[in-house]
Amino acid sequence: MATARVKPWMLVSAIWIWPAVFGVVNRVAQGRLQGWGPASPAELLFEFWDWIAYALVTPAIFAATARWPVIGPRLRQHFLVHLGLALLFCVVWAVVGKVLQLVIMSALEPDTVSRAMANAGAKLVQVAARDVLSWVLTTIPFGVVVYATVAGLASAITYFTQARDREVQLARLSEQLSTARFSALQAHVNPHFLFNTLNTVAVLIRDGERAGAVRMVELLSDVLRRTLRREQADETTLTEELALVRQYAAIEVARFPDRLHVAFDVAAEVAHAAVPAFAIQHLVENAIRHGIAPGEHAGRVHVRAAREGDHLVVMVDDDGVGRTDTAFPAGHGLANTAERLQILHGASASLDVRPGPTGGTRATLRVPLRLLPPMVDRDAD
């Protein structure tokens, strides 16, 4: 059976049991030291439950702190909100305390309550209101400090919880990036790829096309070098990502000059937009290997990138065999990319793969638009 996770506010609420117990002990000890005589059961019960009232309002303070954080932007506005809530908290605590006192006294010492009401006479409402107001004013200094302490504790717990969760997310993201780099490298150095590329080089040399053979070797070298030298960053610019994609696509086009055509249509305004590293490379590789390669006819892959509102949208279309299953198998490059998107951007990013509008497959990558500084060509000699 699964156990429910203990909420932080539950632990903080439970802490109020200790001052409640010590409050009772203090009342008994002070009675003996000051010669007040033994405390009545009603007094001790009120002393205990007056502290427990803090435990009852602690969840509300946690909720208010989550709604109006005391860390981050709009700090001044949120401070004023919490100041008002602290004063309201004092009023509520004072009223609840007086009602609690009346209930306890009515249950345990009804004669005392009756005498007090008789002495007040026609001014009962005025006396009660003055008593509550006096208790509110008495409560404010200590009550505001209590509210601020609980709110500060709630903020600290939230901060450290978010920091811990962020560390976990960064660790997962680092692992995902390493996997993506390995997958990209593996795709370019696996025996089939190397064999096919080198076989193409051999054919070009045999046919006397030395320039084409040299170009193929240079492209393969550039792909491997760019993949190996890419920094351990979770994001890169669209320009740099597409440089790797163009090199990979150029090798595939050289192998199948009559069967494959790859086109790029990229808006200039998004050239330096941030994209997850290797994400578009996976989409193009998937289109060629699973869309174009299995077909019997020539195919086309079209990569488009443009701005849509506050998002960068990258679409990779192919007119290959098509795709009926839109799920990403575990360990698949697309599943890896989708998970990294969720870690980086949450619900504001998405990866959608479905049949294309005119056949084939369309993969759509959508991420919040954020421009990075132009990057130096790290692969230049």
CA distances from 294 to 161, 260, 288, 299, 360 (A): 49, 12, 9, 10, 12
In the chain, CATH 3.30.565.10 sits at 230-368
Quote the pTM value.
Answer: 0.49
249 neighbors 256 (Cβ within 8 angstroms): no
Dist. CA 116–CA 127, nearest whole Å: 10
Beta strands in the chain (DSSP E): 235-237, 260-266, 274-276, 299-308, 311-318, 350-355, 361-368
- 252-275 confidence digits (pLDDT tens): 888 778 889 999 999 999 999 999
275 neighbors 314 (Cβ within 8 angstroms): yes
98 neighbors 131 (Cβ within 8 angstroms): yes
- 119-141 confidence digits (pLDDT tens): 767 777 787 788 778 878 887 88
CA 38 from chain centre, in angstroms, equals 57
Dist. CA 177–CA 172, nearest whole Å: 9
Mean pLDDT by 10 residues, the chain (381 residues): 58 77 82 78 78 80 84 78 86 80 79 75 77 81 83 81 73 63 49 67 80 80 68 77 88 83 94 89 87 86 95 94 63 72 85 89 94 61 42
Q: What is the CA radius of gyration of the chain?
A: 35
CATH 1.10.4030.10 correct for 230-368: no
219 neighbors 247 (Cβ within 8 angstroms): yes
Tell me, what amino acid is at 188? H
CA distances from 379 to 31, 46, 61, 180, 224 (A): 83, 76, 55, 19, 10
Dist. CA 344–CA 170, nearest whole Å: 9
Average model confidence (pLDDT) across the chain: 79
Dist. CA 175–CA 27, nearest whole Å: 59
**pLDDT value at residue 1:** 39
